[in-house]
């Protein structure tokens, strides 16, 4: 079944995925929407600037501040019909009031923070179910940055140091919110050197595509399979379908893992990858000579 909704997953802002959760102030993060990511979320929604937005700050340790900053950012894009939902437990994720707010929303954005909070608080609740139904059956836009992006897929990385990622057992994977199958998403990818985490994830489950999102970079996913790179940085894809060999099952816990023949792609703004046939089309912008 081809979903009618659109999914936008973002690797984070300059530092940790939302304006307030960074050592920088809002001015240094202006490129987060000036480069078009937050604006793209708006223009892809059914009523553009008049759409109803709900910002879900559940993953954040500073939900009030993060919510305020998103409202400010969207106000500068002339979007004013914005609400903030700081759902902190499963009872709230099952409440009729919050359910109705999500049901009425045309854009839902999950902020950064801890993705395990998202999966453990929302998994199997009324809000989770209505989100999945809306994504399948309505032209809704669901977006996630940082933790919100990591939790968007069926499989989710929730723990594992970058330095020791290719030691057996270091990377921890659990179930995410399940908007998209057959992929696993990691964020702050280039800045935090997380290639090992994605290589391990792909080696342990070669049937899934590893997606590493750089900061101020995202993927716009339409029809459930067409992925367009957006933003100023890079998207790294790790494809293990043709992996020739690994010693993952042979080594002891904590020992290094060997991998043979893992395929890696690099995407930048405008490149398109199709999950159905695993094809990548690179965008070649026309260079205009100076003078």
Tokens matching residue 60: 């954040």
Q: What distance in Å separates the CA atoms of residue 259 and residue 240, rounded to the nearest whole number?
A: 10
Cα 176 from Cα 156, distance rounded (Å): 5
Cβ-proximal residues to 133 (8 Å cutoff; 6+ apart), any chain:
none
Give the residue among 79, 101, 83, 81 at the shortest CA–CA distance from 92: 101
Strands 259-260 and 245-246: antiparallel
Catalytic residues: 146, 188, 215
Q: How far apart (Å, rounded) are the C-alpha atoms in residues 202 and 211?
A: 10
b/e for 174-212, b at 16 or more Cβ within 10 A? eebbbbbeebbbbbbbbebebbbbbbbbbbbebebbbbb
How many Cβ atoms from other residues are within 10 Å of residue 282's Cβ? 13
φ and ψ at residue 28, rounded to 5 degrees: -70, -15
In terms of Cα–Cα distance, which of 93, 94, 14 is closest to 58?
93
């Amino acid at each position: 079944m081809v979903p009618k909704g659109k999914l936008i997953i973002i690797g984070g802002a300059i530092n940790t995925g939302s304006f307030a959760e960074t050592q920088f102030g809002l001015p240094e993060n202006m490129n987060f929407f000036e480069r078009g990511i937050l604006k793209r979320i708006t223009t892809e929604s059914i009523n553009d600037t008049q759409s109803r937005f709900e910002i879900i700050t559940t993953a954040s340790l500073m939900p009030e501040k993060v919510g305020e900053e998103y409202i400010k950012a969207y106000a500068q894009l002339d979007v004013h019909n914005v609400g903030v939902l700081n759902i902190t437990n499963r009872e709230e994720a099952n409440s009729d009031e919050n359910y109705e707010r999500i049901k009425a929303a045309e854009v839902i954005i999950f902020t950064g923070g801890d993705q395990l909070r998202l999966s453990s608080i929302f998994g199997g609740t009324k809000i989770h179910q209505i989100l999945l139904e809306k994504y399948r059956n309505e032209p809704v836009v669901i977006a996630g940055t940082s933790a919100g992006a990591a939790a968007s897929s069926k499989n989710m990385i929730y723990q594992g140091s970058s330095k020791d990622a290719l030691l057996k057992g270091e990377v921890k994977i659990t179930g995410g919110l399940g908007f998209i199958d057959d992929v696993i998403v990691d964020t702050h990818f280039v800045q935090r050197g997380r290639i090992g985490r994605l290589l391990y994830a792909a080696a342990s489950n070669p049937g899934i595509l590893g997606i590493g999102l750089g900061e101020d970079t995202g993927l716009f996913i339409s029809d459930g399979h067409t992925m367009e790179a957006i933003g100023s940085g890079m998207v790294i894809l790790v494809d293990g379908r043709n992996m020739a060999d690994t010693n993952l099952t042979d080594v002891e816990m904590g020992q290094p893992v060997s991998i043979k023949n893992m395929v890696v792609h690099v995407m930048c703004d405008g490149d398109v990858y199709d999950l159905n046939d695993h094809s990548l089309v690179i965008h070649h912008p026309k260079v205009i000579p100076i003078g």
